Structure 1
Amino acid sequence: MSDTIKRVPNAFFVEDTVRAEDPITMIRCRQMKPNPFQPRRYFDEDALLELSRSIDIHGILQPIIVRKNHRHYEIVAGERRFRAAQLAGLQEVPVIVRDFDEREMMELALLENLQRENLTPIEEAEAYEALIKHLGFTQEQLAERVGKSRPHIANHLRLLKLPQIVRNFVDNGELTMGHGRALAGVKSSVKIEQLAQVAIQKQLNVRQLERLVQEQAPKVKVKPSIQLQALENELQEQLGTKVTIKKTKQKGTLAIDFYSPVDLQRIVDLLLGDD
């Protein structure tokens, strides 16, 4: 784990490390770029407009943290403020320049946004996946780092198995995380998409969708054991008709087919030992 994260124990907000003596520089907006590892794709437009009005009146009260990358500055923390400043028509913004490498940029972008808890479920899942894939976290280590349970991490990662169109439904709020989890257990991508469309059109809640998924799940035929098969064959030979044995843990059913009243009487006579 890098020194950047060690400097901010238990909270990954790089802005918490801003010191009074940190030099603040004014940088033109056109020189700035978003963090390439930013997990957030959706920014609440109403909240941005509200923040832009506040910036228009009071200015930016907290500098944006950036790192220098050739001729540009990449935003480490404060992208919402940057976007709102652009909406407010600002040409330049106050920044504090820090020296971060690629790994630190990814750690800060992903972990800090996860701590803020306002990502969509899919954005959160993709952030977990990136931390596991690129930074070598296990699910257990990641759960400890972000203060979540391991099942919480695992359930989010399952969402990434959904087809892209269904992930979009979860991303834009047409389906909830619970809907996504219910659909993630379905094997067929086509079936997942169909069930997702039904859930949206009929406004099914999670429980209703879970029932629908269960109802449409293919029935699995359990093959009888070798012993039961042998017993079925023996009874079929003795009775001269089809015999089916179905067994649960301790109980079961014995089905004997007959094809006419005469055939039924014949089987009954055999069972009762009548001549």
Structure 2
Amino acid sequence: MPGASFAEIAIDQIVPNTKQPREVFDEDDLKELSASIKEVGVLQPVVVRSIPAKGRSEKLTEFLADKPEARFELIMGERRLRASELAGETTIPAIIRETEDGDLLRDALLENLHRAQLNPLEEASAYQQLMADFGATQEELAKRIARSRPQIANTLRLLKLPPSVQKKVAAQVITAGHARALLSLSTHEEMERLAERIVAEGLSVRTTEEIVRLGKAKATPRPRARQQRPLSQLGESVVSALSDAYDTRVTITEGRKKGRIVIEFAGCEDLQRIADLILR
């Protein structure tokens, strides 16, 4: 790789990535990786850059105050770095490369997205920060990180949830599918109340969507439609899985002999994104 070199670096010479979008690290997962590192070592090097002499961010300055001997800033591999420390390792294999400040968040975000390690709120916050840092639109950000604009828009909408509900999504107490349904409600108070019900009663995404729909129907009376049969347990689980997998609303209608699956999309670009996910 041009402008890059390989070295075994002392762990105490590395400070975390100041732009790391990931905030939650599973303790059991770290312990498992730590045990693997004790057994076979670190199989994939972390990526670092030399700490710049000038133009240091406030956060980097704080890190250096706690670790004055540090010479490198982490770009990718915080999970491996943490697990290595947990395993009692004093050094770690690393690729040292030149990286601009503006690319720190993007590189860390892409690594976590490719490994599916960000919760939906961390992903949304990272998108928002990238847009602010680069003065970019959703369309420009989509091209920069190879995501579709509707996917970024849907994820950013999660930041409109009230803080108490955001915490539930971040802790994976409720899913992104539940959160998307809650966003159809008018007020934060309604979102919070229904989020509490989801947790207390173990409501599925499909049931949550139905509660939201019925609530809106009461506010705007419509002609009475034929009542749908309740979904089977399998139907509920398939709706939840597909909604999360395709990042959109999915509905299933079950009949006695046949049924129907409806996958919603927001325009041609979103349709192509979903088709690519189905066909890959």
Larger relative contact order (C-alpha < 8 A, sep ≥ 6)?
Answer: 2
1:39 aligns with: 21
2:219 is paired with a residue whose SS is coil
| CA distance in 2 between partners of 1:139 and 1:110 (Å) | 16
| CA distance in 1 between partners of 2:146 and 2:195 (Å) | 31
TM-score, normalised with respect to structure 2? 0.65
1:24 is paired with a residue whose SS is strand
TM-score, normalised with respect to structure 1? 0.67
Aligned-residue Cα RMSD (Å) equals: 2.3
| CA distance in 1 between partners of 2:39 and 2:219 (Å) | 64
Shift of 1:110: 2.2
User: Structure 2 residue aligned with 1:58, among 26, 40, 52?
Assistant: 40
CA distance change for structure 1 residues 194 and 63 in 2, over 3 Å: closer, same or farther?
same
The C-alpha deviation readout for 1:137-191, integer Å capped at 9, x for no partner, is: 3222333344433221111111000011111111111111111001112231122
2:60 aligns with: none
Shift of 1:220: 5.4
| CA distance in 2 between partners of 1:40 and 1:177 (Å) | 17
| CA distance in 1 between partners of 2:205 and 2:109 (Å) | 29
| CA distance in 2 between partners of 1:171 and 1:65 (Å) | 26
For the 8 Å contact 1:121–1:177, the answer to whether it is kept is: yes
| CA distance in 2 between partners of 1:18 and 1:87 (Å) | 32
CA distance change for structure 1 residues 180 and 18 in 2, over 3 Å: closer, same or farther?
farther
The percentage of aligned residue pairs carrying the same residue is 42
In the alignment, structure 2 segments of 5+ residues that lack a partner are: 54-68, 222-280
Aligned pair count reads 203
For the 8 Å contact 1:60–1:94, the answer to whether it is kept is: yes
Kindly report which structure 2 residues correspond to 1:219-258, keeping only aligned pairs within 5 A, or say none. Answer: 219=219
For the 8 Å contact 1:85–1:93, the answer to whether it is kept is: yes
For the 8 Å contact 1:24–1:63, the answer to whether it is kept is: no
| CA distance in 2 between partners of 1:98 and 1:41 (Å) | 24
2:5 is paired with a residue whose SS is coil
Shift of 1:107: 2.3
Shift of 1:26: 2.3
CA distance change for structure 1 residues 48 and 18 in 2, over 3 Å: closer, same or farther?
farther
In the alignment, structure 1 segments of 5+ residues that lack a partner are: 1-16, 222-275
Shift of 1:101: 2.7
Kindly report which structure 2 residues correspond to 1:148-187, keeping only aligned pairs within 5 A, or say none. Answer: 148-187=147-186
For the 8 Å contact 2:105–2:126, the answer to whether it is kept is: no
Kindly report which structure 2 residues correspond to 1:128-143, keeping only aligned pairs within 5 A, or say none. Answer: 128-143=127-142
Amino acid aligned to 2:107: L
